[in-house]
């Protein structure tokens, strides 16, 4: 695994050159485990992960990124997916790692998937929000996006924001901004906790379980050999770096409120039983986001 990578970028860094890539799985990713259960197909345009009773599988990006907009289309495990977890996330390495998570928790046929999100900074997570999706994520491909800039992290599904996590440094909480992260994804068995707190176990008669990926794209700052592709002070060569200072406009804020009102099933900033001494400091600016 790559070592921790650090770069000093201030919130005032506005004139940057980004690298935009429309992905090919052969060029952009390495299969890291699974002994043949992960496959790259269709000339690099499709990747599948499989899980059976022996093992799951996973892959990671060749590049590391420090800020960017990452899109991936996924089609999740169909049918009875209880006990399975499909994880898709950005992460650095080490005890004080940063991480930005999508996790899809399988369920019994006919019950909704749970979409679990989390943000780690300096090795500390516990910032969960969970959602039910408003569509069947197994019937077709849907786009899951992470926009990560120095001011905020926005999780989106098919272009609809579901969560905004604002930089909480103003209230003394660290924020992921100094460690470059790779993209990871895996399909694995977690029936000790994934479905109804572990009450529903994986039905191995339904194996192998398969999740599919396509249309990866990264409009992002690539970190390589100790420097960032966004290290230039020259003006951007294209208009693709708008994500660097992007925030939710009024329409997107309304869509975010719609998702959180109708589909959010857990918010750590509202869990008084978990935090009887008071909510974490970042909840003051991220209480409903």
Tokens 């857990």 found at: 266
Angstrom distances, CA of residue 196 to CA of 14, 19, 82, 102, 107: 45, 41, 9, 18, 8
- Token pair of 76, please? 């999740």
- Token pair of 25, please? 């799985």
- Sorted by sequence, the CB contacts under 8 Å of residue 263 that are 6+ apart come out as 131, 132, 133, 134, 162
3-state helix, strand, coil split of the chain in percent (to 5) is: 15, 40, 45
Length of the chain: 289
Out of 103, 164, 246, 254, the active site residue is 103
Q: Using an 8 Å Cβ cutoff, are 216 and 28 in contact?
A: yes
Out of 99, 128, 237, 246, the active site residue is 99
Q: Using an 8 Å Cβ cutoff, are 148 and 166 in contact?
A: no
Is residue 99 annotated as a catalytic residue, yes or no?
yes
Rounded Cα gap, residues 237 and 162, in angstroms: 31
Is residue 103 annotated as a catalytic residue, yes or no?
yes
Q: Kindly list the catalytic residues.
A: 99, 103
């Amino acid at each position: 695994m790559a070592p921790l990578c650090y770069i000093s970028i201030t919130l005032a860094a506005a004139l940057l050159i980004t690298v935009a890539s429309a992905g090919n799985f052969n060029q952009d990713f390495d299969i890291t485990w699974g002994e043949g259960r992960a496959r790259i197909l269709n000339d690099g345009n499709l990747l599948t992960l499989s899980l059976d009773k022996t093992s799951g599988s996973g892959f990671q990006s060749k590049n590391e990124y420090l800020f960017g907009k990452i899109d991936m289309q996924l089609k999740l495990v169909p049918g009875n997916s209880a006990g399975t977890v499909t994880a898709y996330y950005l992460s650095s390495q080490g005890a004080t790692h940063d991480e930005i998570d999508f996790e899809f928790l399988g369920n019994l046929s006919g019950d909704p998937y749970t979409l679990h999100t989390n943000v780690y900074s300096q090795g500390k997570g516990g910032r969960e929000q969970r959602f039910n999706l408003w569509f069947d994520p197994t019937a077709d491909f849907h786009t899951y996006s992470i926009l990560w800039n120095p001011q905020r992290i926005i999780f989106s599904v098919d272009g609809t924001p579901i969560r905004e996590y604002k930089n909480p440094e103003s209230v003394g909480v660290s924020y992921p901004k100094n460690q470059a992260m790779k993209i990871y994804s895996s399909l694995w068995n977690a029936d000790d906790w994934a479905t109804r707190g572990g009450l529903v176990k994986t039905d191995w008669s339904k194996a192998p379980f398969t999740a599919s990926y396509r249309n990866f794209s990264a409009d992002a700052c690539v970190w390589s050999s100790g420097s960032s592709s966004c290290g230039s002070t020259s003006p951007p060569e294209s208009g693709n770096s708008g994500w660097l200072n992007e925030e939710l406009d009024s329409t997107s804020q309304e869509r975010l409120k719609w998702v959180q009102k109708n589909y959010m099933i857990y918010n750590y900033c509202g869990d008084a039983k978990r935090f009887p001494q008071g909510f974490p400091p970042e909840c003051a600016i991220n209480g409903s986001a």
